[in-house]
Amino acid sequence: MKPWNKNRTNSLLLKDSVGAAKQSIYTIPNDIYFGKAIVHDTEGAQQVTSTWYYHNHSELNPPDRDFTKLNKMCISNKLHDQKQFYLFRKSNDARVFRKRGCSQIEVNLPDENFRYGKPYLPQSPMKNVLSGSYMNEAEQLMDKKYDAISKHKLKQNKRPSTATKHTKASKLAYQSLIKSLNQTQQHQFKLKEFDKVQPKTKTRF
C-alpha cells in the first residue's frame, strides 16, 4: 500500500487514482439528497384554466383625524379647557377628506351620424370627358405656358441698343435733311419741247 493511501481521515492528504473520482472520507447515507428541494405548486394548469377569481378592491385605511376641525368645533361649543377638549373629542369625531382619483378613463365617442374613414370622390362628369372640354382646357393652359416661356427668353436675349446721342453737327445735318424732304418741289423752268421728256436719272428733287 502506498503511504499516501494510509491516511483516510484527512481530505488534503487523500489522493485519487487517475481517471476516477476522488474518494470521500465521510460516511454518507444513501437516502439523503443534496441541494434545494423543488416546491411543487398545488394549483396546476387545469385548475388555472377552469376556475376564475374576480378582483376585489383593496380595503383603504381610514383617514386621519382632522384636529383642526375638532378644535374649531370645540370653540364653537364655547369650550375653553383642555379637559373639556379631551372629553369632546371622545364623543365627537372628524376625519380628513381624502381625494380619490378615477381608475377609469372617460371615453368620448362621436355622434351616431359620424362616419370614419376617407369619403368617396365625387362622380366624374362623363359628358365633359367625352366632349373633350378637359382636353381643350389643358391645351389652352399649355399654350399660355409656352407663350410666357418664349417671352421670358426674348427678354433675356434682348441686348441693349448701342446707338449714341447725336452730336451738334449730325443733329444739324439730320434736321436739314428732313427740311429738304418736307419742302414742296419747286417748278423748274423747261423748254416746251422738253416738257414731256422724262429724266433718265432719278434724284430726290
Number of domains in the chain: 1
**Rounded-to-integer distance, Cα 185 and Cα 161, Å:** 36
Does residue 2 lie in a domain region?
yes
* Amino acid at site 107: V
Q: Return the top range by mean pLDDT from 10-19, 53-62, 135-144, 191-200.
A: 135-144
Mean pLDDT, range 88-94, rounded to an integer = 90
How large a percentage of the chain has pLDDT more than 70? 85
| Neighbour-count burial for 147-182, b at 16+ CB within 10 Å, e otherwise | eeeeeeeeeeeeeeeeeeeeeeeeeeeeeeeeeeee
Does residue 151 lie in a domain region?
no
Does residue 174 lie in a domain region?
no
Does residue 95 lie in a domain region?
no
Q: Is 119 helix (H, G, I), strand (E, B) or coil?
A: coil
Mean pLDDT, range 17-35, rounded to an integer = 75
Q: Rounded to a whole number, what is the distance in angstroms from the first to the last CA of the chain?
A: 162
Does residue 8 lie in a domain region?
yes
Does residue 106 lie in a domain region?
no
Does residue 204 lie in a domain region?
no
User: Per the confidence metrics, is the pTM higher than 0.75?
Assistant: no
Expressed as residue numbers, the domain containing 1 is 1-56
Alpha helix segments (H runs only) across 37-132: 45-50, 67-76, 82-91, 126-131
Does residue 13 lie in a domain region?
yes
